[in-house]
């Protein structure tokens, strides 16, 4: 690419659009010219599409037919480091560049002229007639008390047609206003007093601050048990970035966490930072996107997609709970935000901090190999100590059928009730019961579209498929043998456990935290705050509660089924179980009251269970590492999954078999191919899924080989192929 930064009017430019095309399109630069990286609107057939000026035009298209850029958007041009990042991320994940650009332009209304933006608030008047749709619209406004939305947002959120919203405006029930200009965020002041750090914390904080000041790229693993003050420490790294006049990004795995986090940021820097996640309103997202680009948002707290915001000068990325599996995007562009953070930082000379009490084996291995620095916080802050962890041997517990709370656990809960403390029961299963079975013929209710069982949800009074979200009523008669009144739940889900807990402690205030019980992130946030304030005695939770919530009154954690994660054949099962159990246990005894964690298990002698109880992490990691090394799998070898899908299973397998026969490019790099075999999720929404697994030694050009392998394929009809570099399960 030439070093040219500005194109005069009429000059030929190459534009990358968000449309699925495999090349740049040539246009004439508009009146007034445009910068390299400019966001533009260009004509494509009869449509107008969004694009970015990616370089000079290639020149192989007839100049006479060349169309002109329609207009340059009023935002800062994309920086060269961002273009490089998108290019490298596309190469790494084998994703077409336009799909990467779509990730980077998720700012609703980016190309709307400002004059088109109206927002709506609740008006004075009452509509002449209330319909269900109208009620929903007004309820949405009420739920978000005080916030205003664009007409389209409001219609989307209430799930009504735009005409319903229009009708309400006409009737005066909604009031139209000019959208406010996208205003900058309040200034964050790094010089406000920080907490008095302990010696350990102070050392870690100053190492990170120095790294940030260096203005160079580097990655550090910040390891410390839950409650050791990792957050306090990395906020000082953020302060260092702010002092240097650079921006910082904190990635959190769960947006429900942000409430507590925002408060802490405000306490440290005197103002709230910008937030980026799917729950934010469109107006808010557009504002963040713009302010980040202007450098007027100094700190962003976000979900993984915040990595694709157009930062002006990003100096620091924190990946909190870096081991969390939700950092892997499993839909659309398949990327791991932790790895993309490292790539992005390398492009813009920023520091990365990977914070965790239980790092992923990948990160642990990178630290062992000296690629990442490592900082340890060894003890919990202040008087709080790690909970005492014990196994409850379920083989010698006396339980009634269809109950799961052992007498030992019940006794411990009773003690908490008497002391006015909280207990948390952890069970990683949503719904009432994982299986609904016919007691006459043994048939189970399966989803019509997926290779999955339907799970009963009592609160909803329906069966739900956790794969595709499809629901149906619980049948009276068995769909298979048609005998009535024999359908029965089997096994525990979080809702069933709640029923059992209510039976044992009728006087207790019981809170269930499961993602599908909350209509909105806001509702969940609020519930978590109430619980933290002591408005519950017994908390029942799925995976959702494992993450950093701070419940000061919580002193008992009961893991209902510690063996659950160890049952699969997944090579990562041990690592996952270890992380999850340690993480859940870490919820107890966060304040001055010491905590206790009881793990119900049928195999207390299992090496993973023993490692969890003893907390001897280094030996656990070393044993895990040795096993992975022997198997040649990540992080000691490379893997990629190729997922093929289509409505016709035979056609999908035919394609897979043809690919397996023509694996020349893979053999050239010494890679092995497994499959085709049914994918871990073998059928979703009526589409069959088949997987080919590629295993390669470290250091070979894996992506390049895969690209050459799949390039000649012409996918017929409804067949789809997606590449998953570094799959989560193998």
Q: Is 224 in the site for ligand ADP (CB under 6 A)?
A: yes
Chain Cα centroid distance, residue 667: 35
196 part of the interface to ligand ADP, by CB under 6 A: yes
Question: Does 356 interact with ligand ADP (rule: CB under 6 A)?
Answer: no
Alpha helices per DSSP H over 118-158: 132-143, 151-158
**Is 259 or 468 the residue whose CB approaches Zn ion more closely?**
468
Kindly indicate which of the ranges 41-49, 208-216, 229-237, 531-539 contains the residues binding ligand ADP, using the contact rule CB under 6 A: 229-237
Nearest partner of 222 among 214, 230, 212, 211, judged by Cα: 230
Q: Is 13 exposed, middle or buried (0-12, 13-18, 19+ CB in 10 A)?
A: buried
- The answer to whether 468 is annotated as binding is yes
> Site map for Zn ion, 459-498, x if CB under 5 A?
------x-xx-x----------------------------
Is 450 annotated as ligand-binding? yes
Per CB under 6 A, does 197 bind ligand ADP?
A: yes
- The DSSP string of 352-394 is EEEEESS--HHHHHHHHTTSSEEEEE-S-STT--PPEEEEEEG
Q: How many residues bind ligand ADP (CB under 6 A)?
A: 15
3-state SS string for 256-287: HHHHHHHHHHHHHHCCCCEEECCCCCHHHHHH
DSSP 495-544: HHHHHHHHHH-TTS-EEEE-GGG-SSHHHHHHHHHHHHTT--SEEEESGG
Q: Please report whether residue 91 would count as binding Zn ion according to CB under 5 A.
A: no
Q: Tell me if 76 contacts Zn ion by CB under 5 A.
A: no
When CB distances are held under 5 to 8 angstroms depending on the partner's kind, the choice from ligand ADP, Zn ion, none that residue 226 binds is ligand ADP
Between 226 and 408, CB nearer to ligand ADP: 226
Q: How far apart are CA 519 and CA 662, in angstroms?
A: 48
Residues in the chain: 730
Q: Which residue has the tokens 């291995």?
A: 365
Residue 122 in the binding site for ligand ADP (CB under 6 A): no
Question: Contacting Zn ion (CB under 5 A), which of 15, 241, 244, 447?
Answer: 447
Q: Which is nearer to ligand ADP, 132 or 199 (CB)?
A: 199
- Secondary structure (3-state) at 587: coil
195 contacts ligand ADP (rule: CB under 6 A): yes
**Site map (CB under 6 A) of ligand ADP, residues 387-416, x = contact:** ------------------------------
Which string of x and - marks every residue 544-563 that binds ligand ADP (by CB under 6 A)? Answer: ----x---------------
Name the binder of 624 from Zn ion, ligand ADP, none, CB < 5-8 A by kind.
none
230 binds ligand ADP per the rule CB under 6 A: yes
Q: Give Cβ neighbours of residue 110 (< 8 Å, ≥ 6 apart).
A: 39, 50, 73, 75, 286, 289
Among ligand ADP, Zn ion, none, residue 447 binds (CB under 5-8 Å by kind): Zn ion
Match 């953020």 to its residue by tokens. 238
Residue span binding ligand ADP (CB under 6 A) among the ranges 230-238, 342-350, 539-547, 702-710: 230-238
CB of 320 to ligand ADP, least distance (A): 8
Q: Which residue has the tokens 């006794």?
A: 411
Task: Report whether 4 contacts 36 (CB < 8 A).
Answer: yes
Q: How far is the CB of 524 from Zn ion (least distance, A)?
A: 24
Paired strand residues for 403: none
DSSP string, 667-692: HHTT-EEEEEEEEEEEEETTEEEEEE
Write the CB contacts of 517 (distance below 8 Å, at least 6 apart in sequence).
459
Instruction: Verify binding: residue 454, Zn ion, rule CB under 5 A.
Output: no
Q: Which stretch in 63-71, 134-142, 220-228, 685-693 sits in contact with ligand ADP by CB under 6 A?
A: 220-228
CB 291 within 8 A of CB 344: no
Task: Answer yes or no whether residue 54 interacts with ligand ADP by CB under 6 A.
Answer: no
Q: Given candidates 450, 455, 513, 723, which one binds Zn ion under the rule CB under 5 A?
A: 450
Q: Binds 230, which of Zn ion, ligand ADP, none (CB < 5 to 8 A, cut-off by type)?
A: ligand ADP
For residue 641, the partner it binds in ligand ADP, Zn ion, none, with Cβ less than 5 to 8 A by kind, is none
Query: Minimal distance in Å, beta carbon 516 to Zn ion?
Result: 14
| β 247-251/299-302 pair status | parallel
DSSP 448: S
Residue number, 197 or 651, with CB nearest to ligand ADP: 197
From ligand ADP, Zn ion, none, interface partner of 450 (C-beta below 5 to 8 A by class): Zn ion
Task: Tell me which of ligand ADP, Zn ion, none is bound by residue 227, counting a contact when its beta carbon lies within the kind-specific cut-off of 5 to 8 angstroms.
Answer: ligand ADP
d(CA 601, CA 557): 14
What CA–CA distance (Å, rounded) separates 272 from 253? 19
Q: Which is nearer to Zn ion, 83 or 689 (CB)?
A: 689
H helices within 105-229, ranges in order?
132-143, 151-158, 162-170, 199-213
Count of residues that bind Zn ion according to CB under 5 A = 7
Q: Which is nearer to ligand ADP, 533 or 715 (CB)?
A: 533
β-pair partners for 55: 14
Binding segment (CB under 6 A) for ligand ADP, from list 67-75, 224-232, 395-403, 449-457: 224-232
| 649-677: b (≥16 Cβ within 10 Å) or e | eebbbbbbeebeeebebbeebebebebbe
CA proximity to 558, closest of 497, 607, 616, 508: 497
Among the listed ranges 164-172, 227-235, 401-409, 683-691, the one in contact with ligand ADP (CB under 6 A) is: 227-235
User: What are the residues binding Zn ion (CB under 5 A)?
Assistant: 447, 449-450, 465, 467-468, 470
Interface contacts to ligand ADP, rule CB under 6 A: 195-198, 201, 224, 226-232, 381, 548
| Binding-site residue set for Zn(2+) | 438, 441, 447, 450, 465, 468, 478, 481
């Amino acid at each position: 690419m030439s070093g040219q930064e500005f194109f005069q009017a009429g000059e030929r430019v190459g534009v990358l659009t968000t449309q699925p095309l495999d090349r740049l399109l040539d246009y004439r630069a508009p009146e007034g010219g445009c910068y390299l990286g400019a966001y533009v609107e260009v004509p494509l057939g009869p449509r107008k599409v969004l694009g970015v000026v990616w370089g000079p035009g290639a020149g192989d298209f007839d100049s006479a037919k060349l169309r002109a850029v329609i207009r340059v958007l009023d935002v800062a041009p994309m920086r060269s480091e961002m273009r490089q990042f998108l290019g490298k991320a596309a190469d790494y994940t084998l994703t077409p560049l336009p799909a990467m650009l779509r990730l980077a332009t998720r700012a609703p209304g980016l190309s709307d002229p400002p004059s088109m933006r109206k927002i709506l608030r609740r008006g004075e008047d009452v509509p002449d007639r209330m319909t269900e749709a109208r009620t929903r619209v007004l309820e949405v406004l009420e739920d978000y008390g005080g916030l205003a939305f664009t007409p389209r947002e409001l219609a989307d959120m209430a799930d009504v047609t735009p005409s319903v919203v229009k009708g309400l405006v006409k009737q005066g029930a909604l009031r139209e206003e000019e959208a406010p200009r996208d205003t900058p965020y309040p200034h964050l002041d790094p010089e406000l007093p920080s907490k008095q750090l302990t010696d350990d914390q102070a050392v870690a904080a100053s190492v990170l601050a120095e790294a940030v000041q260096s203005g160079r790229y580097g990655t550090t693993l910040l390891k410390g048990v839950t409650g050791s003050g990792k957050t306090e420490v990395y906020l000082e790294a953020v302060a260092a970035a702010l002092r240097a006049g650079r921006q910082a990004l904190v990635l959190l795995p769960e947006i429900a966490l942000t409430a507590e986090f925002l408060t802490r940021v405000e306490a440290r820097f005197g103002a709230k930072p910008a937030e980026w996640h799917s729950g934010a309103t469109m107006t808010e997202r557009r504002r963040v996107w713009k302010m980040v680009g202007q450098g007027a948002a100094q700190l962003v707290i976000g979900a993984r997609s915040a990595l694709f915001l157009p930062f002006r000068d990003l100096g620091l990325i924190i990946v909190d709970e870096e081991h969390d599996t939700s950092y892997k995007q499993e839909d659309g562009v398949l990327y791991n935000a932790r790895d993309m953070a490292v790539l992005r930082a390398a492009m813009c000379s920023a520091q990365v901090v990977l914070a965790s009490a239980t790092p992923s084996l990948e990160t642990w291995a990178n630290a062992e190999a000296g690629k990442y620095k490592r900082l340890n916080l060894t003890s919990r802050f202040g008087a709080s100590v790690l909970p005492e962890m014990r196994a409850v041997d379920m083989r010698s517990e006396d339980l009634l059928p269809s109950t799961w709370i052992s007498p030992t656990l019940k006794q411990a809960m009773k003690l908490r009730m008497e002391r006015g403390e909280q207990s948390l029961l952890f069970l990683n299963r949503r719904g009432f019961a994982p299986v609904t079975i016919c007691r006459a013929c043994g048939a189970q209710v399966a989803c019509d579209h997926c290779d999955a069982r339907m799970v009963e949800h009592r609160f909803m009074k329906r069966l739900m498929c956790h794969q595709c979200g499809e629901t149906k009523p619980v049948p009276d008669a068995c769909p298979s043998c048609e005998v009535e009144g024999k359908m029965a739940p089997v096994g525990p889900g979080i809702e069933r456990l709640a029923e059992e807990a209510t039976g044992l402690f009728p006087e207790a205030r019981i809170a269930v935290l499961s993602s599908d019980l909350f209509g909105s992130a806001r509702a969940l946030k609020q519930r978590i705050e109430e619980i933290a304030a002591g408005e519950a005695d017994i908390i029942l939770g799925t995976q959702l509660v494992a993450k950093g919530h701070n419940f000061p009154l919580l002193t008992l954690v009961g893991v209902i089924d510690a063996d659950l994660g160890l049952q699969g054949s997944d090579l990562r099962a041990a690592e996952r179980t270890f992380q999850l159990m340690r993480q859940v246990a870490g919820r107890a005894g966060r304040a001055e009251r010491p905590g206790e964690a009881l793990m119900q298990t049928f195999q207390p002698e299992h090496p993973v269970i023993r490692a969890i109880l003893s907390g001897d992490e280094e030996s656990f990691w070393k044993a895990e590492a040795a096993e992975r090394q022997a198997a040649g799998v990540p992080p000691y070898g490379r893997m990629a999954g190729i997922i093929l899908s289509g409505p016709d299973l035979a056609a999908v397998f035919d394609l897979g078999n043809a690919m397996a026969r023509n694996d020349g490019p893979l053999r050239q790099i010494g890679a092995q191919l497994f499959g085709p075999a049914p994918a871990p999720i073998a059928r979703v929404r009526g589409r069959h899924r088949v997987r080919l697994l590629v295993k390669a030694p470290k250091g070979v050009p894996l992506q390049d080989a895969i690209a050459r392998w799949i390039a000649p394929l012409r996918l017929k009809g409804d067949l789809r192929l997606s590449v998953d570099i570094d799959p989560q399960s193998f």
